Structure 1
Amino acid sequence: MLSVAIGNYPHTRLLKERLAGSKNFDFVEVSPITKAFAQMVRQGTYDISEMALVTFLQAKAFGKPLVLIPAAVAARSQEVSLIKLAKNESIRGPADLQGKRIGVRAYSQTTGAWVRGILKESFGIAPEQVHWTTFEDPHVAEYSDPAFATRAKPGSALLDMLRSGDLDAIIVGNDKPADADLADVYPDAEAAGREFTRKHGFVPVNHVLVAKQSVVDAQRDLLLEFWAAVKAAWKDTPSTGSLPIGRAAIEPSVALALNYISAQSMLPRPMTEADIWAGLPAGF
């Protein structure tokens, strides 16, 4: 039996429902699912797990025995994650962020890495030209934040520091607050997200699936059974239209994320796409 840690979304709930009667898979509930990422990287707690894309790329670079299963669990436009106080007129758009103070849950957070890559690509703002404040350790213990990132005092909260004026902008995830006092940094964040997709041809991937190398080596038949169920569940869930599945579909997003974090000096060594996909067996 394979232990599986995946969050609850329409497509994953369908997957869990369809495999509920199987003796081959044990779905472990972890809330929030982000807690499973460090457990998987550091202890190999599960056989299969959801994982943030940047966490996987860093883990692979540090030699963790993980294999990328080519299915996006979550993907979204990143521009909507960058918010400020509505009254802050010193920031009229992303180009004004140079030299500003930006808070992010963890420097290695995938959304943050996407945002930094976009800021550099579209506005020429390098990561070191921003004062970063972080609140959590990376999932990959071997990675350390850059020298220009400062850890917030214990007990500090991202949104509280924005409201108090200690931060000029923050990067949030799916828990974006609905508050009239807050505003997107982008004048039209939705349009900016659509422009990214038009330019690059995909919606950026945030979370993927990974398996332990030992599972690939010793229990490939079960992994292929799981993969077939994943493909069927994603296909049968209408809301997964923007989620790439299959190596050819997910590869562009993975490749750009690799380029972004390589440029941000977030890896201990250069990595190629062959390195990323090492261990993936035939049939995927």
Structure 2
Amino acid sequence: MSIATQPLRLKTALKTYPHTRALKSGELTDPAVELVFEDIEPIHRAFAPMARKQVFDVSELAIVTYLQAKAYGKPVVLLPAVVAARFQQKCIIYNAQHGPLDVGSLEGKRIGVRAYSQTTGMWVRAILAETYGVPIDRIDWVTFEGAHLEEYREPSFVRRAQPGEALLTMLRTGELDAAILGNDLPDEPGLVPLIGDAAAADRSWYGIHPYVPINHVVVVTKALVDEHPQAARAVYDLLRRGKRSVAHERESGKPDPLLFGIDALRGPLEETLAFCDSQQLLPRKLSVDEIFADCLDVLGDAAR
């Protein structure tokens, strides 16, 4: 008679999305693992503890944070699963009450962003530079937090706001000319997108870059991969099943924001790495093959 083994309990930080809800409710399960979810809101508060000290077994992580963690040799392993992605051109706003502003007049302006290494900021800067020819090193970038990785040092054209200063307050008063925000975009009179018809601009961008800009992926600790590889495989399978459970909700013909597998992620990650390099976000060169090596070792053909 075989003795039933208990599932491995994994401390997990994962936001509730339509595609993760069934995992978090217990509707989707795997006999190998029990995901024990931490209640963290907003989810980005999990990123520094995971990147620095691996306080979770499984965690959602911003793509820039993951790439910095990998470059600095942190023991985290990417599961090739995108859990959050969005088009970004609506995410840079300005205060129209202080007069007009457009992408052609950003040089020398003061633009606020929560952190220079914030993933939304990386994407907006990449689009400003590549699509609109904005010299991002000639902008006065004002940040309010440091990076999730303590080792990272911001470029010389980035400065920290004074203690007590707040991004939206500075935008309202005119101390900032523009600001980049993500899930916390405000809905108030006068604060409007800098890029006119951002949705059309995003469609044009997608015509050149056929993927939705990646915000968050999922990582596990190297210790979990080394000691319990079957548990890492079970987590990846649960994430896949979660995506499949809501596949019918995606509008036909719309881009798939939730890329899975290294074949789907290779091109987007190559471009993401290039954007990070050009913005001085990484301490050394990374390749997609280096990134994928760990997950291939543990997931095998399932990683494809």
Shorter-chain-normalised TM-score: which range? Answer: over 0.9
Deviation at 1:278, TM superposition (A): 2.9
- Greater Cα offset, 248-257 or 98-107: 248-257
Q: Tell whether 2:269 aligns with 1:265.
A: no
State the SS of the aligned residue for 1:38. Answer: helix
2:76 to 45, 49, 66: 66
What does 1:21-100 correspond to in 2, within 5 Å? Answer: 24-91=34-101, 93-100=102-109
User: 1:274 aligns to what?
Assistant: 289
Q: Tell whether 2:122 aligns with 1:113.
A: yes
Following the alignment from structure 1 to structure 2, what is the Cα–Cα distance between the partners of residues 41 and 179? 34
Amino acid at match of 1:78: Q
Following the alignment from structure 1 to structure 2, what is the Cα–Cα distance between the partners of residues 143 and 200? 28
Amino acid at match of 2:269: V
Moved over 6 A (4+): none
- Greater Cα offset, 266-275 or 156-165: 266-275
Identity among equivalent positions (%) equals 42
Q: Tell whether 2:176 aligns with 1:161.
A: no
CA contact (8 A) 2:80 2:218 kept: yes
Following the alignment from structure 1 to structure 2, what is the Cα–Cα distance between the partners of residues 87 and 156? 20
Which segments of 5 or more consecutive residues in structure 1 lack a partner in the other structure?
Answer: none
CA contact (8 A) 2:12 2:38 kept: yes
State the SS of the aligned residue for 1:102. Answer: strand
User: 1:255 aligns to what?
Assistant: 270
Give a deviation string over 1:43-79, Cα, whole Å, max 9, x none. 1101110000000001100111111111111100110
Q: Tell whether 2:216 aligns with 1:213.
A: no
Which segments of 5 or more consecutive residues in structure 2 lack a partner in the other structure?
Answer: 1-8, 251-255
CA contact (8 A) 2:98 2:174 kept: no
Following the alignment from structure 2 to structure 1, what is the Cα–Cα distance between the partners of residues 226 and 263? 23
Q: Tell whether 2:11 aligns with 1:3.
A: yes
Assess, with a 3 A threshold, how the Cα gap between structure 1 residues 254 and 21 changes in structure 2: closer, same or farther.
closer
User: 2:3 aligns to what?
Assistant: none
Deviation at 1:250, TM superposition (A): 2.4
The structure number with the bigger radius of gyration is 2
Deviation at 1:151, TM superposition (A): 0.6
Give a deviation string over 1:206-248, Cα, whole Å, max 9, x none. 0000111111111111111121111111111145642111222
> What is the TM-score normalised by the length of structure 1?
0.95
Number of residue pairs the alignment of both structures matches: 283
Give a deviation string over 1:2-25, Cα, whole Å, max 9, x none. 211101111111222224696632
User: 2:20 aligns to what?
Assistant: 12
CA contact (8 A) 2:115 2:143 kept: yes
Following the alignment from structure 1 to structure 2, what is the Cα–Cα distance between the partners of residues 261 and 157? 26
> What is the TM-score normalised by the length of structure 2?
0.89
2:237 to 215, 228, 232: 228
State the SS of the aligned residue for 1:36. Answer: helix
Root-mean-square deviation (CA), in Å? Answer: 1.6
Deviation at 1:189, TM superposition (A): 0.9
Following the alignment from structure 2 to structure 1, what is the Cα–Cα distance between the partners of residues 277 and 104? 22
